[in-house]
Amino acid sequence: MQTHMLDLIAELEIRLVNTVERLNEAELKRYYAEVLEFEERVERLHDTLAFVADRIAVEGVASR
């Protein structure tokens, strides 16, 4: 009977470790996706600022 209980506890420990591992992987994947999204937003912002700077330069030259 005690062997059965020890086997059950060992199986539970393995399941808990596997669950925590899957949760950690999911969290890391979520962080990675958030970083990629942030990088895309920064790139779009950079493109927008470059466009605005070009327009200001063109309008500044045209008004002279």
Structure tokens at 11: 């199986």
Give me the sign of the Cα torsion angle 54, 59, 62, 64. negative
Q: Of all helices (H) and strands (E), which one includes residue 41? A: helix 2-62
pLDDT tens, the chain, 64 aa long: 699 999 999 999 999 999 999 999 999 999 999 999 999 999 999 999 999 999 999 888 777 6
Q: Which two tokens stand for residue 37?
A: 């999204």
Global pTM reads 0.66
What's residue 9's pLDDT?
95
Residue found by looking up tokens 């470790």 in the block: 17
Q: pLDDT at position 1, please?
A: 65
